[in-house]
Amino acid sequence: MAQTAAERPMLATRACRRRWRAWIGLTCLLAVVGCGERLPDGADSQGLHADTLYVGRHILTMNEAAGAVSAVAVAGETIAWVGDRDAWRGHADEVVELGQRALLPGFIDAHGHLSFMARTLGLANLAPPPVGGVTDIASLKQVMIDYIAAHDVAAGAWVVGFGYDDSLIAERRHPDRDDLDAVSTEHPIALVHVSGHLMATNSVALREAGITAATPDPPGGVIRRRSDSDEPSGVLEETAMGPLTGLFLGDDGLTTGAIDAALGEYARFGVTTVQDSAASWQLHALLAEIAADTGLKLDVLLFPVGMDGTFALPEGVELGRYSDRLQVAGTKLMLDGSPQGKTAFLSEPYHVVPEGLPDDYRGYPVMTNNRAKALIRDYLSRGIPMQIHANGDAAADMLINAVAAAVADDPVEDHRTVMIHAQTVREDQLDRMQALGIIPSFFAAHVFYWGDWHRDSVLGPERAARISPTASSLERGLPFTLHNDAPIVPPDMLRLLWAATHRETRSGRILGEAQRIEVLEALRAVTINAAHQSFEEDRKGTLTPGKQADLVVLSANPLDTAPEALLELQVLRTVSRGVTVYDAERATP
């Protein structure tokens, strides 16, 4: 689709677009830290006192203005000095000799779900290898039976599993109510699909939710039926899950221990800033209480759900400002579902249409086009940043057209609207996104986890080769970020970098070689680009004096590592605001 007349002038008239085009090239980081900035030399460090001085040959500041750096000094929560180790004239309480290890800015996972991550740590693990051990329906049922026995679950109490994947189960189908009735007829059972967009339930769970043959499909969702009747099969899609998720995934069950454990998992992978996208205000209250009481070990950005259009900050909370390491950073909207679950909204039919659906089936949106336009217009006019879930290219059209219509009537400077996942965006859509200032955040780990499924069943070879089109974005100078969508997949940032640069599927085949990017570009996507996405480039994303001391130490320099070997690297230390929150040698997550 060609750019509209309203979009074309924006490239020439909006300064932020010019910054973004420069940002991704060799001079990109000059635009972020300021072209006139002078880095400290030896004289600048005279008399400085640092808590820790990191020294070594493999320090990646992600700041092109810095040149070669062999020492970084940290004082309190701040990076105090950066330069050549021979120029250091201050005093440090601790000196860390990096040797062959590498020092980088802490990783920023640009989209995820902290509270969901915390909940899943206590659920039955139904993931396939390498995350879990479920390979077929029989092994799935056994995991559930063992879980009920191990946890001595009382009759009538909910039993919840997470992570089953029909694309990797031998039978290539979802478990249904009959499968789960064989596990238990005394417990309501709900299994959340790995995508988070579908659910499998037993008969007791359906009764608890009041879902019967007479229950109609809700707007934006589907109650799957038995082939010969209207009787629910036990599989629920999208908004049809609503009555159940409220019963067993409410924020009331979250504990300080569960949140701390989830943050520890992020820290183990080198992440220093996490998100809870699609949060509730109840969750915000809980996290604020934890933050004020025992503290949060990492920075947390919240994006409360804004689907009803009533986004309103609690008294005393300021948008975009931290309080005890917790920040409300914007709102979250959903436009469609999951490509691997075949609920994403595509412009062309699925390669293999799900059984029982017409040949032209291409998924569906979870809200109407008019509703999406109204919500996006409202939030843009109110200056509320948005993360908008759009997996299918038809959903991407909804987002792009809504932003275009809104800014044509009322131009908005530097809104940084984020298209979450952006799995199937087309070349013409990338052009329009660049013009409109829409940032794609790619779920690049899909290439490994579901690449074979996308190629063989979801999209077909041609479309699948373009999922997460990072190289196409780079060609346009369109900034992008990368994310894991934890707990959909673990927050493993090194695997994410490997997937974006190498693009190898589970079967060992390369999917979309033309979309491979260099390791440096992938690193930018999880450091300075991710900081920029959330309006935090002034405090995070590079090792620059005055910025927050968020650091990660890797076992070797990723720029000296071939993309296919990135999985061999290890996170050895994670530092958040100057405090070590993970140390592999001391095993302190």
Which amino acid belongs to residue 278? A
Q: Does the pLDDT value for residue 115 go beyond 80?
A: yes
pLDDT of 344 over the 60 cut: yes
Tens of pLDDT, residue by residue over 45-59, are 888 999 999 999 999
Burial class (CB in 10 A: 0-12, 13-18, 19+), 358: exposed
Around Cβ 135, how many Cβ atoms within 10 Å? Answer: 13
> What count of Cα atoms within 13 Å lies in the side-chain half-sphere of residue 457?
16
567-585 pLDDT, tens per residue? 999 999 999 999 999 999 8
- Which element (helix H / strand E) includes 389? strand 386-390
What pLDDT was estimated at residue 313? Answer: 95
290: enclosing H helix or E strand: helix 281-293
Q: Which helix (H) or strand (E) holds 115?
A: helix 114-120
Q: How confident is the model at residue 580, as a pLDDT?
A: 97
Please state, in angstroms and rounded to a whole number, the distance separating the CA atoms of residues 478 and 273.
23
Distance of CA 422 to the CA centre of its chain: 12
pLDDT at 22: 34
How many residues are recorded in the chain?
A: 589
Residue 550, both tokens: 């968020």
- Give the separation between CA 401 and CA 576, rounded to whole angstroms: 39
**Structure tokens that stand for 229 in this block:** 């009747």
- Sheet architecture: strand order including 189-193: 124-125, 159-164, 189-193, 198-201, 232-238, 221-225
Residue 587's pLDDT is what? 64
**Strand 107-108's sheet: what is its strand order?**
107-108, 271-279, 299-304, 326-328
CA 231, 234, 237, 240 dihedral sign is positive
Average pLDDT, the chain: 90
- What digits encode the pLDDT tens for the residues 516-554? 999 999 999 999 999 999 999 999 999 999 999 999 999
- Pick from 569, 442, 570, 454: which is nearest to 509 by CA? 454
d(CA 367, CA 339): 17
Tell me whether residue 6 is exposed, middle or buried, using C-beta atoms within 10 angstroms of its C-beta: 0 to 12, 13 to 18, 19 or more. Answer: middle
Better-scored residue on pLDDT, 413 or 491? 491
Residue 555 to residue 478: CA distance in whole angstroms: 31
Place of tokens 């230390």: 573
**C-beta contacts of 535-541 below 8 A and 24+ residues apart:** 535/320, 535/329, 535/385, 535/416, 536/273, 537/32, 540/105, 540/106, 540/108, 540/272, 540/273, 541/32, 541/62, 541/105, 541/108
pLDDT tier, 248 (very low <50, low <70, confident <90, very high otherwise): low
In this prediction, residue 250 carries a pLDDT of 56
Mean pLDDT of 300-325: 95
pLDDT band at 244 (very low <50, low <70, confident <90, very high): confident
| Radius of gyration from C-alpha coordinates of the chain | 24
Give the C-alpha separation, 134 to 69, whole Å.
47
Alpha helices in 236-280 (DSSP H): 242-248, 256-268
Question: Are the CB atoms for 417 and 386 separated by under 8 Å?
Answer: yes
Q: How far is CA 298 from the centre of its chain?
A: 16
């299994």: which residue's tokens? 191
Distance CA 271, CA 106 (A): 6
- What domains sit in the chain, N to C, each tagged with a CATH number? 114-251 (3.10.310.70)
Q: Which of 248-262, 273-287, 448-462 has the lowest mean pLDDT?
A: 248-262
pLDDT digits (tens, 9 = 90+) for 404-441: 999 999 999 899 999 999 999 999 999 999 999 999 99
Lowest mean pLDDT among 246-260, 417-431, 459-473: 246-260
Pairwise CA distance, residues 277 & 350, whole Å: 28
Tell me the pLDDT tens digit for each residue of 289-302: 999 999 999 999 99
3-state secondary structure of 463: helix
Residue 586 binned pLDDT confidence (cut-offs 50, 70, 90): confident
Spatial distance between the Cα atoms of 448 and 237, rounded to a whole number of angstroms: 24
